[in-house]
Amino acid sequence: MSDAGNDPTAIRHRQVQVGALSMHVAEAGEGPLVLLCHGFPESWYSWRHQLGALAEAGHHAVAPDMRGYGRTDAPERVEEYTLFHLVGDMTGLLDALGERQAVIVGHDWGAMVAWTAALLRPDRFRAVVGMSVPFLPRLPMRPTDMMKAMAGDRFFYVLYFQAPGKAEAELDPRARQMMRDMLYTVSGDVDPSHYTKMLELPRTAGFLDSLATPDTLPDWLSQEDLDHYVEQFERTGFRGGLNWYRNFDRNWELLAPFADCKITVPALFVGGLKDAVVTGPELEKPGPGVQMLDLFCTDLRGKVLIEGAGHWNQQEAPEETNGALLDFLKGLDPPRGDSDAL
């Protein structure tokens, strides 16, 4: 995963100063900028199958380690991981790269960053692709209150993640078990009956109790892939990524002024039909969040739902994901230059 002579699709690595953060980015190609935002618990490596494909198609693909991950700085304070900070990081990255505009692509938590970036800064993010997590408007109820009401006496991972240090104490010493089982559990390879077991866990359960252990790694995840993730989290721990979850309520408060706003730039959704986040409890059919996207995106160009893929669609089904992404990019107007800015 390094430079290979003059190969324009080779992945390059560097540190970029973005505001107060030193941010690690992996990049490939030249041309219109496409930002790739990963989710939890991932890194730039989640986009290893997309960087070269985008470069070959004439784009400058940039996949940062997001705030708190990998070789990007991880601020200490929980309050420094709000969506405002994360969108600010992506806007600042455009500035650091000398670019006026980009198409922003996000997966999982990165999708929430991408949707919010398109909502707040359509002047800088000219189009958006959300993967695995659809855009949802601000709800009338505080998120953790809603989660507590829904969970009752049962375990719910977002609530478990709220107390600083609790999940870290469980997961940091067990990075290999965490990454192996996490990547498998929400993939399209897991037995769907496992979701029922997850919903029945008592509130006293730990996060690892909610995961399934594979007999062998799925075909889309090599030992080298797993080792890459494990090395990262053995070095950094999971605190940075967990802090994103600890800002659900803070994000809800900060985004109050934008409650009735819609995504106005061209948008695409991509997800797997074996991803419960996409489908809800009834797998193989799009859930309410996906069905209602048309209400919140005024220029939704499509919903690509990939059979057999789970939550990690860009890793599990790279050809289908790349095809959807490239088709979407072909249909966009070219980026505005500085002379076109207001």
One-letter identity of residue 235: R
H or E segment to which residue 239 belongs: helix 239-245
8 Å CB contact between 299 and 264: yes
Buried b (16+ CB within 10 A) or exposed e, 103-136: bbbbbbbbbbbbbbbbbbbbebbbbbbbbbbbbe
Q: How many residues does the chain have?
A: 342
Does the active-site annotation cover 95?
no
Does the active-site annotation cover 59?
no
CA gap 134, 106 in Å, rounded: 10
Buried b (16+ CB within 10 A) or exposed e, 156-180: bbebbbbeeeebeebbbeebeebbb
8 Å CB contact between 259 and 137: yes
Annotated catalytic residue, options 108, 181, 189, 275: 108
CA gap 155, 204 in Å, rounded: 7
**Active centre residues (catalytic):** 108, 311
